[in-house]
Amino acid sequence: MRVLIAPDGYTGTLTAPEAARAIADGWCRQAPGDVVDLCPLSDGGPGFVEVLAAAAGPDGHLVRVGATGPLGEPVTVAVLLAPAADGVLTGYVETAQACGLHLVPAGRRDPGVTTTAGLAAAVVAARSAGARRIVLGLGGSGTNDGGAGLLAGLATAVGLGDPATLDLLRGGGAALRGVQREQLGWLGPLRQLWADVALVAASDVDVPLLGLSGASAGFAAQKGATPEQAQQLERCLADWAVAAAGALGVTATGGSGIASAAGAGAAGGLGFAVQLLGGRREAGAATVLQAVGFEARAAAADLVVTGEGRLDWQSLHGKVTHAVAQAALEVGTPVIAVPGQLLVGRRELATAGFSAVYPVASDEAGVAAAVADPGATLAAQAQRVARTWSPAGAQPGR
């Protein structure tokens, strides 16, 4: 039996390559005769550059860029430079390396003050190295500033804008309350300066900037916000959206509004900032699937095994597991998932294309055990799953 093992990372416990290896180890213990193909993935969040660098091989080149993190601390961001399929030199930036939640200590998590400003250094470096397309992997952020910090950083780099306004925009999501379009007259010239570079937001989710499924209501809590603060951040982002769209002479909200576009709310609104600059959004998982040749590898397999830390409603809005299920469905290969936890109903899973899902943990005790030894518990669950799905694994005595 040929098994394609294609997981995302298990947030906070295992990277995608580590998860793939753990699943493979468990599977091969039960069915050593099966042929396994390890295909770690990313949806734009942590691991994005690592996965793409492995796929690029000798054609890729990593550049290390000094930047600042979500709280202003020094960080290093790896920018991958590699030719895309069309031959265009492309810079790949994993935004979580500059503004990821993992960079913010648990006791200091406050999406009202964390900023995307440091990301500008990596974007500028990619352009300076000759990239004519820059793909920003959006996911795993600890910010909720609508990308205002990134735009302020880019404006500072070319001497645009009033310093006081730029300092304000670098102050995090809470600082955006009451911002006016008259303060953002530099957005038009900034957009023109970046018109010769194709900007792509490769996002892990397809949500809008505002609303019940937007950046603040849908994701601020996991970044440290209280329910009251999430509501305040929603108002701040609404002010930012109206002011920024007004400065560019485009519609902010509504069916055709820039803040309502799919992916505008990704990474705390970084997707919105990319669109303000004239960029476009694509699914981060789709970007990676294409780079690793997933379709052909899935077609050659008898079964695809995927997984992530928690398979929930967010997973069905563009994350790796859902993208894998959809892509494998296209070539007729069944897909099963082995997530850390499962928080989606059976009907939704069937509609998404999963043949079966086997969570590692089903209660608090299971979660604690999985966190204590994530590799071993994931491998053990993969071994149990192989008994059901592999003809070799189902043999007596195994």
pLDDT value at residue 397: 46
Question: Are residue 132 and residue 181 in the same domain, yes or no?
Answer: yes
Question: Are residue 297 and residue 363 in the same domain, yes or no?
Answer: yes
What CATH number is attached to the domain comprising 96? Answer: 3.90.1510.10
326 within a domain of the structure (yes/no): yes
Question: Are residue 68 and residue 34 in the same domain, yes or no?
Answer: no
394 within a domain of the structure (yes/no): no
* Structural domain containing residue 28: 2-41+292-389
397 within a domain of the structure (yes/no): no
Question: Are residue 281 and residue 298 in the same domain, yes or no?
Answer: no
Write the secondary structure of the chain as one string of H (helix), E (strand) and C (coil). Answer: CEEEECCCCECCCECHHHHHHHHHHHHHHHCCCCEEEECCCCCCCCCHHHHHHHHHHHHCEEEEEEEECCCCCEEEEEEEEEECCCCCEEEEEECHHHHEHHHCCHHHCCCCCCCCCCHHHHHHHHHHCCCCEEEEEECCECCCCCCHHHHHHHHHHCCCCCHHHHHHHCCCHHHHCCCCHHHHCCHHHHHHHCCCCEEEEEECCCCCCCCCCCHHHHHCHHHCCCHHHHHHHHHHHHHHHHHHHHHHCCCCCCCCCHHHCCCCCHHHHHHHHHHHCCCEEEEHHHHHHHHCCHHHHHHCCCEEEECCCEECHHHHHCCHHHHHHHHHHHHCCCEEECCCEECCCHHHHHHHCCCEECCCCCCHHHHHHHHHCHHHHHHHHHHHHHHHHCCCCCCCCC
pLDDT value at residue 316: 81
Name the domain boundary from 285, 313, 348. 285
Question: Are residue 258 and residue 353 in the same domain, yes or no?
Answer: no
Question: Are residue 74 and residue 30 in the same domain, yes or no?
Answer: no
Name the domain boundary from 267, 285, 303. 285
Name the domain boundary from 285, 319, 354. 285
Give the model confidence (pLDDT) of 118-133 as tens digits.
999 999 999 999 999 9
Question: Are residue 270 and residue 299 in the same domain, yes or no?
Answer: no
pLDDT value at residue 393: 66
* Percentage of residues of the chain with pLDDT beyond 70: 98
Number of domains in the chain: 2
Question: Are residue 204 and residue 158 in the same domain, yes or no?
Answer: yes
304 within a domain of the structure (yes/no): yes
What CATH number is attached to the domain comprising 308? Answer: 3.40.50.10350
395 within a domain of the structure (yes/no): no
Question: Are residue 18 and residue 148 in the same domain, yes or no?
Answer: no
Question: Are residue 175 and residue 120 in the same domain, yes or no?
Answer: yes
269 within a domain of the structure (yes/no): yes
Question: Are residue 26 and residue 131 in the same domain, yes or no?
Answer: no
330 within a domain of the structure (yes/no): yes
pLDDT value at residue 394: 65
- Residue spans of the chain under pLDDT 50: 396-398
24 within a domain of the structure (yes/no): yes
Question: Are residue 256 and residue 341 in the same domain, yes or no?
Answer: no
